[in-house]
Amino acid sequence: MARLVMKFGGTSVADIDRIRNVARHVKREVDAGHEVAVVVSAMSGTTNQLVAWCREASRLHDAREYDAVVATGEQVTAGLLAIVLQDMGVNARSWQGWQLPVLTSSAHGGARILDINGAELIKRFKERDREVAVIAGFQGVYKETNRLTTLGRGGSDTSAVAVAAAIGAQRCDIYTDVDGVYTTDPRVVPQARRLDKIAYEEMLELASLGAKVMQVRSVELGMVHNVRIFVRSSFEKPEDIDPHAEPSGTLICDEGEIVEQQVVTGIAFSKDEAQISIRRVSDKPGVAAAIFGPLADSNINVDMIVQNVSADGSTTDLTFTVPSADYERARITIEKAKASIGYERLDTATDVAKVSVIGIGMRSHAGVAAQAFGALAKNKINIRAITTSEIKFSVLIDAVQTDLAVRTLHSLYGLDKT
């Protein structure tokens, strides 16, 4: 017998038929003798509609009331799944975030989980014949005000991993509309392979650099609490799965569990990038603070940063990227700070993309990035900026060349199916 957390995303619970399919997955694990907690997202499209209603009601709506509205999508799904499970003869009860409780920070719309008390769920497993807890994901409560909070888009993944850590689950199964984590997006590279295992650090980089399979904070939680996470498909027939065997899909785990480590694990890309270049800035202490301080105050995340000496030798050019959604705010912020920064010209570009190569094997292999630069040059792909870390490097290129760059690098590192 094992203790499991099963998480189902919006496409997996899009309608009653799919909720019944989810219930069959849950019943399979219960019938195998496992203790099960289920975390659910809102039905596909529901959250978008709820957000749209908030914006229609008022452009400057109260964030606390926004959370009260958008959290209802997950509550509906949890109640419906509990009803369907009960109809199948499975002992089940729905839970909202405040009932566990899931304690969070006060940042409405993007709260962080501070603590979950899993004692009540464990008690019910024992006292109520393994009662299935169907938990509304994406939500919690701020203890000081008892106001409901939400965790931001993709927050149900984070809820699931946090619950798994709180109840000491043997694993957390994230059911999605894909059957695992791939070396890159199969829509761009048909030869992309599904990975059997991937290290937390690699998945964290993939998620933060453009891969949509997992939410970044959920991977962080998994790494901190060493929660074994399986990414698997909810559309696989429930009756075809052996509940006593290791699940199919991709296991996200500690790198110690991965016996054979490739130099490169995957290629991620993001077209949601914008480039800002500040030309002819005085080369003196305090300039960087004058640029990035106001951006930080505006909660704008800056990614790739490159500094070059200007042609005149006495000033410098500073280039950085921001998410395209923050581009206008970033540009206006820099323009307002022109007097304190003291630049001559501002150049911007929104037709750029970031392509990243990730692999823990890079720690012990030299020349990995150099190979990429050579291959991209052969394909006449110009690199605008480069950033590196211990297990990844990223290049900024023209957006129109994204697919070519991804295919080139995927083949270069032997990631294509054989």
Together in a domain, 166 and 282: no
Together in a domain, 106 and 46: yes
pLDDT single digits (tens) 26-58: 999 999 999 999 999 999 999 999 999 999 999
The answer to whether residue 256 scores a pLDDT higher than 90 is no
**Calpha distance 117→115 (Å, rounded):** 7
Last residue of a domain, one of 232, 255, 278: 255
Beta strands 171-176 and 229-233, pairing class: parallel
Say if CB 363 and CB 205 are below 8 A apart.
no
pLDDT of residue 413: 93
Of 245-249, 293-297, 368-372, 398-402, which range is least confident? 245-249
**Calpha distance 16→314 (Å, rounded):** 67
Contacts of 395 (CB under 8 A, 6+ apart): 354, 355, 356, 372, 376, 383, 384, 385, 386, 405
The answer to whether residue 17 scores a pLDDT higher than 80 is yes
Closest CA to 148 of 73, 217, 65: 65
Q: What is the mean pLDDT of the chain?
A: 91
Domain count, the chain: 2
**Calpha distance 69→76 (Å, rounded):** 12
Together in a domain, 189 and 336: no
Say if CB 154 and CB 213 are below 8 A apart.
no
Q: What is the mean predicted confidence (pLDDT) over 241-265?
A: 86
Last residue of a domain, one of 255, 278, 298: 255
Domain boundaries, position 122: 3-255
Classify 382 as helix, strand or coil. coil
Last residue of a domain, one of 255, 289, 311: 255
Together in a domain, 303 and 205: no
Say if CB 402 and CB 353 are below 8 A apart.
yes
Closest CA to 348 of 367, 329, 365, 366: 329
Q: What is the DSSP string of 202-256?
A: HHHHHHHTT--SS-HHHHHHHHHHT--EEEEETTS-GGGS-TTSPPSSEEEE-GG
Together in a domain, 33 and 115: yes
pLDDT of residue 313: 66
What is the distance, to the nearest Å, from the Cα of residue 39 to the centroid of all Cα atoms in its chain? 16
Q: What is the mean predicted confidence (pLDDT) over 196-207?
A: 92
Would you say residue 132 lies in a domain? yes
Confidence grade of residue 340 (pLDDT, cut at 50, 70, 90): confident
Together in a domain, 231 and 348: no
Q: How is residue 224 written in tokens? A: 């901190």
Confidence grade of residue 310 (pLDDT, cut at 50, 70, 90): low
pLDDT single digits (tens) 58-68: 988 899 999 99
- Calculate the alpha carbon distances from 84 to 74, 91, 312 in Å: 15, 10, 72
Classify 292 as helix, strand or coil. helix
pLDDT higher at 262 or 22: 22
Would you say residue 219 lies in a domain? yes
Would you say residue 116 lies in a domain? yes
Of 74-88, 127-141, 185-199, 232-246, which range is least confident? 232-246
**Calpha distance 116→102 (Å, rounded):** 5
Together in a domain, 145 and 54: yes
Q: Report DSSP state, residue 261.
A: -
